[in-house]
Amino acid sequence: MRRAVVAEIRRVLRRGGVLIFVDSLQTGDEPDYDAMLEYFAAAFHEPYYASYLKEDLDRLWSPGFGPEARLPAYFSKVLSYRRNP
């Protein structure tokens, strides 16, 4: 499903446009929080969260997007990707 969403965003976002989104931290983003992230998937029965923790977002968004910014925001992060010209 993630790849289908990326393909649709790639289709509708103009070349050079910027996608900005907020999502959960992933394993390794803030190593002190890794254990809590793993606990969240089990404690709250989130079936897709465990695979998200390991997803390589830069690879998911390519081809078509280049990473721009990555800012931690407690248990979340703000990411931006620019649609290739």
Q: Per residue in 37-74, pLDDT tens?
A: 989 888 988 888 989 999 999 999 998 999 999 999 98
Quick one: pLDDT at residue 1? Answer: 87
Residue by residue, DSSP assigns 60-74 as: HTTTTEEEEEEEEET
Mean model confidence pLDDT for the chain = 93
Are 50 and 41 a contacting pair, CB within 8 Å?
yes
User: For 36, left (φ over 0), alpha (ψ -120 to 50), or beta?
Assistant: alpha
Could you confirm whether domain 2-83 is CATH 2.60.120.280? no
pLDDT of 28 > 90? The answer is: yes
